[in-house]
Structure formats: C-alpha cells, structure tokens
Amino acid sequence: MLNPKILIIDDEASIIHLIRMVLQKEGFRHIYTAGTAQEGLRLLERHGADIIVLDVMLPDQTGFELCPKIRQMSDAHIIFLTARTSDLDVLTGFATGGDDYVTKPFNPLEIAARIKARLRRNNAAPSSRETEDFRSRYDFGRFVLDEQAGELTVNGETVACPAQAYQLLLYLCKHPNIVFSKTQLYEAVWGIDGMGDDNTVIVHIRKIRERIESDPGDPKHLVTVRGLGYKLLKEQNR
C-alpha cells in the first residue's frame, strides 16, 4: 500500500490540523478530513479509505453510531479517537466495528505510529522460511480457519469474523499451545508497543470466543493462563 488514503473525522479543527500536519511530515499525501459524520460518509463514498481516524463525539451523531455505517461501506482500519476512557466506552468502540483506539489528550505522533505499524503489517512479505512453512488451513476440530480463503468455519458453518479479531485468531492458530501475554499479542497483531492497550486484546479475545467456543464463558480452545495471558489449545477431545 504505497499511497494509503487516510480519512480523519473530527469536529475540532485544531485536532484535524495537528494530525494532518504530522501525517504530512511523515510522508502521507492522501489525507481527507471531515467535521461531521455525514461529511465523513460522503468523503468515504467518494474517495474510499484505508485508515480512518474517528472521533467519538461528533455534532450530528456519535462515532459509535457512525462506525457500523462505515463498516457497511468499507473494511478500513478504524482508530477511535476519544476522551471517554471508561471500559464501557472502549468496549462499545470495538463492538461497533473499531480496530484500535487512542485517548485524548494524545501525541499526534502516536497516531502516525499506529498508522505506519498497520501499513507495515499489510505490506509485510513472508520470509522464505515462512513461505516454506505456510499452511492455508488450520483445523482445530470444532473450528477451521482457512487463511487463503479468509474464512472461519465453526461446526461446518461459515462464521463472520471482524478483520482484527480474524488476524488475532490467525496468529494464535499459527502458534498453538504457546502462552502469549496481552502485550505480546498486541505487538504481534497491531504492530506497536502494547503497553496500556490491554482492553484492545481483551475485547478481541472475547469476540473470538463468541465465535469458536460452544460456551464462551467456559472456553475450551482459547484459554486464559492466569497471570500469564492466553493460549490456543491444539489438541482437544473430539
């Protein structure tokens, strides 16, 4: 993705100016900005977007209300920008289709770093060893993840899976029976330092369990290792 399109939706002109200035200094050229939800949708329809920075508090509707509408039009990576830091707000952001979040006040360089990290992951080419070891299908009995098809099948039925949750599950499928901390998972899947982003991983672990477990409250595949993190068990009683 050599020339990614970035859409910033925020009603504070000073914030838009600051983010845009930093992104331009970092070499990004295709930057579109909107001050309302409706304007953001119009720009998205007209230009498309690879990355969307979305403020929660907009004058015509909230970012939480706007996000599902964006998801109907685009699979762009959505970074919520918000001063609302309660667990409920963070969970709501991910539940409506967001992929990441940054809390105000913030350093605009953090926005740039998260965007660049996402693009690096999108552009990363597999090493020769990874190519040799590449498998397109990961069978865990109750569920199967087909990497080439981009599909998750549970008990023989295709199940929709949000992009970021899919990437996290794919990473765990490639490393079964290994315990990963939340920080390690964030760095591996989101691509940058995961300190302070525990909620991001927790929410996406929950999304995965809701899809692959018969009882998400008592997981048998994606388990918690108390005090250490999570691991995806390969061998199950079938």
| Euclidean distance between CA atoms 43 and 79, whole angstroms | 17
Collapse the DSSP code of 229 into the 3-class scheme (helix H, G, I; strand E, B; otherwise coil) and give the result. Answer: strand
The pLDDT, as a whole number, for residue 113 is 87
The pLDDT, as a whole number, for residue 123 is 66
Tokens 């525990």 locate to 198
| Euclidean distance between CA atoms 25 and 215, whole angstroms | 48
Task: Work out how many domains the chain is built from and give that number.
Answer: 2
- Output the pTM of the full model: 0.64
Domain span at 190: 128-232
The pLDDT, as a whole number, for residue 179 is 92
Same domain assignment for residues 11 and 99: yes
User: Does residue 31 belong to any structural domain of this protein?
Assistant: yes
Phi and psi at residue 162, in whole multiples of 5°?
Answer: -55, 150
Q: What is the mean pLDDT of each run of 10 residues along the chain (238 residues)?
A: 87 93 92 96 94 94 93 91 72 80 85 85 53 68 90 92 89 92 86 65 91 94 92 71
DSSP symbol at 156:
T
Same domain assignment for residues 11 and 118: yes
Q: What is the CATH number of the domain that holds 180?
A: 1.10.10.10
The pLDDT, as a whole number, for residue 2 is 63
User: Does residue 238 belong to any structural domain of this protein?
Assistant: no
Same domain assignment for residues 100 and 187: no
Rounded to 5°, the CA angle 62-65-68 comes to: 140
Tens-place pLDDT, residues 107-135: 888 899 888 888 877 665 444 444 444 45
Q: What is the CATH number of the domain that holds 32?
A: 3.40.50.2300
The pLDDT, as a whole number, for residue 130 is 46
Same domain assignment for residues 47 and 69: yes
Tens-place pLDDT, residues 177-204: 999 998 888 888 887 665 556 778 888 9
